[in-house]
Structure 1
Amino acid sequence: MKKLLLVSIAFVFLLTSCGSKSKGELVGVQGKKWYPEKPYGMELIPRGSFIMGKSEEDQAKVLNAPTKTVTVRSFYMDDTEITNSEYRQFVEWVQDSIARTRLAILADELGLSSEDGGIGEYAFKQADTTKASVYDKYMLDNYSGMGDTGYEGYSLNRDEDLVWDTSEYPDEYYTEVMDSLYIPEEESYNGQRTIDVTKLKYKYSWMDIEAAARSKTGRRKDFIRQEELEIYPDTTVWIRDFEYSYNEPMHNDYFWHDAYSDYPVVGISWKQAQAFCNWRTKFKNDDNKSRGRQFVNKFRLPTEAEWEYAARGGIEGGTYPWGGPYVISDTGCFMANFKPQRGDYAADAALYTVEAKSYEPNDFNLYNMAGNVAEWTNSSYDPSSYEYVSTMNPNGGDGANARKVIRGGSWKDVAYFLQVSTRDYEYSDSARSYIGFRTVQDYMGEEDSTQ
């Protein structure tokens, strides 16, 4: 019997050896074929070293940017600031998710399904969490800011189009849910029904990798952070940022009107910009999952060093993204959107912001790295950070420091703030009419065009 068992084991080993493609050699794990791709609307910034800081005169005498040679890895960067249209896609996705979540919950409470029609058409796709995949439970589509609903792990039905025209609401239950998304009738005017933007909340989690790596104690769950915040831009910044100034038309129209779709979004706090990055990563990976492709690495805000390196466009010692020390071209035209003269905002042919693809791009094909709107970075602001940050991928990240670096200057700033080496900051929970952002993604390769 023992001899028969040994023969059986040897036979199984022989079969597995014959069927192996490695032939016993160390060939590595053969996983799925990876198809890298250049992210839409982004430019590749090649790795390199540069002298970060003020090599020219520090006119403001702030002494916060001494020169330092540093090296950054390759990354992709948006060729323009995130526009109103692009941010509206985020807002509408959150709005859509909230509506679908509330419709599905009420349908479940009423015991209705797609077969019943009406609100039942929006019932949860998966009403039995024991059958839901681990991915479905982890990537739950419940980003409605409703807290624990008891429906965690259920999948929303996104196949059925939402009805926003009140004359076409399918039943009274649908009407009840949709009306809950709008401001009360006594708060509306001119007969306009307006979405209650305070209900547009995005909920997500992330892991504090740096804190976990430096910790000698604690479990993984101790470093998972939960975030939930309102994501609609603060349009009141157009009025609050300027005393005794009439900017009501910008408050009323700038974010939502199609005329401003290609203009940079403003009124976004650093925390909202971080939420957008998280959503953009999820949005892309949800699509990749449906196509059976590997996930992409995350979109994020650039570090201060990455931003300056990209803004310089490969020009050593340049004062501005176009290199030269002047803000006017050989033909007498201004090179960026800023405040060129005291009180004369329109001298550069723009009063407020301009379209994201305005003026000439720098040598990395990035638009408006100087002027238009200042841009959030991932780095925390410390006047002395250049003295202690690493020379390899430097980043003054500090979760306890609410002051975040902004770069590039804006439409309301003088030329000094447009210089690629000028540092400034704003608090992470603040929103301004002159601060926007753009995102980056770490470079992992490009698709082979010869295959």
Structure 2
Amino acid sequence: MKKLFLLASVSLLLASCGSNDRGELVGVRGKSWHPEKPYGMSLVPGGSFIMGKSDDDVANVLNAPTKTVTVRSFYMDETEITNSEYRQFVEWVKDSIVRTRLAIFAEELGEVPGNGGIGEYAFKDADTTNLSEYEKYMLFNYESFDEEGYRGRRLNKDVDLVWNTSRYPDQYYAEVMDSMYIPEEEAYNGRRSIDVTKLKYAYNWMDIQAAARAKGQGDRKDFIRKEETLVYPDTTVWIKDFSYSYNEPMHNDYFWSEAYSEYPVVGVTWHQAKAFCAWRSKYKNDFNKGKGKQPVNQFRLPTEAEWEYAARGGIESGTYPWGGPYILNDRGCFMANFKPLRGDYAADQALYTVEAKSYDPNDYNLYNMAGNVSEWTNSSYDPNSYEYVSTMNPNTYDGENKRRVIRGGSWKDVAYFLQVSTRDYEYQDSARSYIGFRTVQDYMGTEATQN
């Protein structure tokens, strides 16, 4: 008993920090880490699977030969990103732009909090008396170095924005808000809407692939990419995608009406989907930073292999996410939202899209991995890529290749495109009424494997 007590005491001593390590190599201990399941996501346990067409390729495209590959574990959204979720992104961008404009105008006017006007929205660091020495240093040496001289300044988000025109606090506030709306001559039916061309999201990312290929040549800043993307979906896709067809109600209502809040967002390009991922990562990590928590992995688009692996739901060589080669269940009901008959889009009880949590999920609890909307992936499309990609976490990413793989088929596609192995593509700057997306996040650790 005395020996066990002595061993326990030594173990506790070695695990402690500072001078109590007794000169032993005990490692640097940080905060304890606990995995956090992202909201609205399911864990897809890593493993191997046979990627590609395991049955006849009826279209004779021959771009998906079978290949055994292995992917690591990751979390994936249970549903496609919905209109409601994407609106949260758009609203955040809109509010941030308005607050920035108000803060800049307040500084130009010399207005400060306390007068009840636009000064209430001045930069929070306008008064440096409460800033730490480090914050002052960063403010005066780095944060003002920008083409506008304001990047990095802290916005005051403690004061609510006023959208009711009858309650604007002063004329300066009214001037800023007026600049966010379309001109009077472009308004109709008595409605002036926000000028969506002003809603842009800017972010940076590091091109790790390019940095690795550089083999130590060049500075880190040479591989930092700056992106600025319009965030508002292209609602005109409902008109442009279908000639000689009446789809004006979808153009007018689909994105903003509460009736469609839980339907998948469409009309977003690959670039907009990437911007959403960058914003979602920032939004979560800003919250974690405020709570003193560790940052999370970046949200991103899935690779083509990850998407197919997740769509299969652990079923080896299945044709559809539910496994079998049939598109009807035992009650004679269609199992996905697609175009089942020539000219008959509604035979599956849906003309356009359906709510994101419709039909039964696959065995990874993922909804609509077949049908509803096709989904962007991060992979570049090359019809021969299966011949040369790695068998470990395969991916083809070529910045010069503007074609991006889309998967899953959509509400306007025939059953062939719903098959988990069918490959298709769209150009990355294109927006369609039948393409949406869902995001993934890498799983930290390796113990969660299907095998």
TM-score, length-scaled by structure 2 = 0.91
In the TM superposition, 1:158-307 aligns within 5 A as 158-216=157-215, 217-307=217-307
Q: Percent sequence identity over matched residues?
A: 76
- How big is each residue's C-alpha offset from its partner over 1:128-148, in whole Å with a ceiling of 9 and x where there is no partner? 6985378989998x9xxxx83
Identify the residue that residue 334 of structure 1 maps to in structure 2: 334
Partner AA of 1:273 in structure 2: A
Identify the residue that residue 362 of structure 1 maps to in structure 2: 362
Indicate yes or no: 2:442 matched with 1:442.
yes
Whole-angstrom distance in 2 between the partners of 1:138 and 1:243 = 56
Identify the residue that residue 106 of structure 1 maps to in structure 2: 105
Identify the residue that residue 10 of structure 1 maps to in structure 2: none
Identify the residue that residue 405 of structure 1 maps to in structure 2: 405
Whole-angstrom distance in 2 between the partners of 1:67 and 1:399 = 26
Partner AA of 2:219 in structure 1: R
Three-state SS of the structure 1 residue aligned to 2:201 is: strand
- How big is each residue's C-alpha offset from its partner over 1:407-426, in whole Å with a ceiling of 9 and x where there is no partner? 00000000000000000000
Partner AA of 2:66 in structure 1: T
Whole-angstrom distance in 2 between the partners of 1:205 and 1:186 = 37
Whole-angstrom distance in 2 between the partners of 1:137 and 1:369 = 50
In the TM superposition, 1:370-409 aligns within 5 A as 370-409=370-409
Three-state SS of the structure 1 residue aligned to 2:93 is: helix
Partner AA of 2:263 in structure 1: Y
Identify the residue that residue 348 of structure 1 maps to in structure 2: 348
Whole-angstrom distance in 2 between the partners of 1:415 and 1:102 = 49
Does the CA-based 8 Å contact 1:132-1:153 persist in structure 2? no
Indicate yes or no: 2:417 matched with 1:417.
yes
Shift of 1:196: 0.2
Whole-angstrom distance in 1 between the partners of 2:205 and 2:403 = 21
Shift of 1:229: 1.3
Partner AA of 1:432 in structure 2: R
Identify the residue that residue 135 of structure 2 maps to in structure 1: 132
Three-state SS of the structure 1 residue aligned to 2:205 is: strand
CA shift in 2, pair 1:136/1:354, >3 Å: farther
Three-state SS of the structure 1 residue aligned to 2:105 is: helix
Shift of 1:57: 0.3
Shift of 1:21: 2.7
Q: How many residues align?
A: 426
Whole-angstrom distance in 1 between the partners of 2:174 and 2:372 = 42
Whole-angstrom distance in 2 between the partners of 1:433 and 1:331 = 30
Q: Which segments of structure 1 move beyond 6 Å, counting only runs of 4 or more?
A: 133-140
Does the CA-based 8 Å contact 1:138-1:153 persist in structure 2? no
Partner AA of 1:43 in structure 2: S
Identify the residue that residue 3 of structure 1 maps to in structure 2: none
- How big is each residue's C-alpha offset from its partner over 1:327-364, in whole Å with a ceiling of 9 and x where there is no partner? 00110000000000000000000000000000000000
Identify the residue that residue 157 of structure 1 maps to in structure 2: 156
Partner AA of 2:24 in structure 1: E
Shift of 1:311: 0.1
Three-state SS of the structure 1 residue aligned to 2:21 is: coil
Identify the residue that residue 75 of structure 2 maps to in structure 1: 76
CA shift in 2, pair 1:228/1:191, >3 Å: same
In the TM superposition, 1:303-318 aligns within 5 A as 303-318=303-318
Whole-angstrom distance in 1 between the partners of 2:139 and 2:309 = 39
Partner AA of 1:357 in structure 2: K
Instruction: For structure 1, list consecutive stretches of 5 or more residues without a partner in the other structure.
Output: 1-16, 447-451
Does the CA-based 8 Å contact 1:281-1:298 persist in structure 2? yes
Does the CA-based 8 Å contact 1:137-1:154 persist in structure 2? no
- How big is each residue's C-alpha offset from its partner over 1:261-299, in whole Å with a ceiling of 9 and x where there is no partner? 000000000000000000000000000000001100100
Partner AA of 1:74 in structure 2: S
Three-state SS of the structure 2 residue aligned to 1:277 is: helix
Does the CA-based 8 Å contact 1:137-1:153 persist in structure 2? no
Identify the residue that residue 7 of structure 2 maps to in structure 1: none
- How big is each residue's C-alpha offset from its partner over 1:74-126, in whole Å with a ceiling of 9 and x where there is no partner? 00000000000000000000000000000000100111111222111100001
Query: Which one is further off, 403-412 or 214-223?
Result: 214-223
Does the CA-based 8 Å contact 1:82-1:265 persist in structure 2? yes
Does the CA-based 8 Å contact 2:181-2:192 persist in structure 1? yes
Does the CA-based 8 Å contact 2:403-2:427 persist in structure 1? yes
CA shift in 2, pair 1:396/1:311, >3 Å: same
Query: Which one is further off, 236-245 or 436-445?
Result: 436-445
In the TM superposition, 1:31-110 aligns within 5 A as 31-110=30-109
Whole-angstrom distance in 1 between the partners of 2:249 and 2:157 = 36
Does the CA-based 8 Å contact 2:320-2:420 persist in structure 1? yes
CA shift in 2, pair 1:376/1:391, >3 Å: same
- How big is each residue's C-alpha offset from its partner over 1:13-55, in whole Å with a ceiling of 9 and x where there is no partner? xxxx996132211111111222321000000000100000001
CA shift in 2, pair 1:126/1:35, >3 Å: farther
Does the CA-based 8 Å contact 1:335-1:359 persist in structure 2? yes
Whole-angstrom distance in 1 between the partners of 2:26 and 2:259 = 57
Whole-angstrom distance in 2 between the partners of 1:439 and 1:237 = 22
Partner AA of 2:336 in structure 1: A
Does the CA-based 8 Å contact 1:136-1:155 persist in structure 2? no
CA shift in 2, pair 1:133/1:21, >3 Å: farther
Whole-angstrom distance in 2 between the partners of 1:346 and 1:335 = 13
Does the CA-based 8 Å contact 2:84-2:261 persist in structure 1? yes
- How big is each residue's C-alpha offset from its partner over 1:150-193, in whole Å with a ceiling of 9 and x where there is no partner? 11231001111100010111110000000100000000011112
CA shift in 2, pair 1:388/1:137, >3 Å: farther
- How big is each residue's C-alpha offset from its partner over 1:209-267, in whole Å with a ceiling of 9 and x where there is no partner? 01101113211111000001111000000000000000000000000000000000000
Partner AA of 2:106 in structure 1: A
Indicate yes or no: 2:429 matched with 1:429.
yes
CA shift in 2, pair 1:195/1:18, >3 Å: closer
Q: For the aligned residues, what is the CA RMSD?
A: 2.1
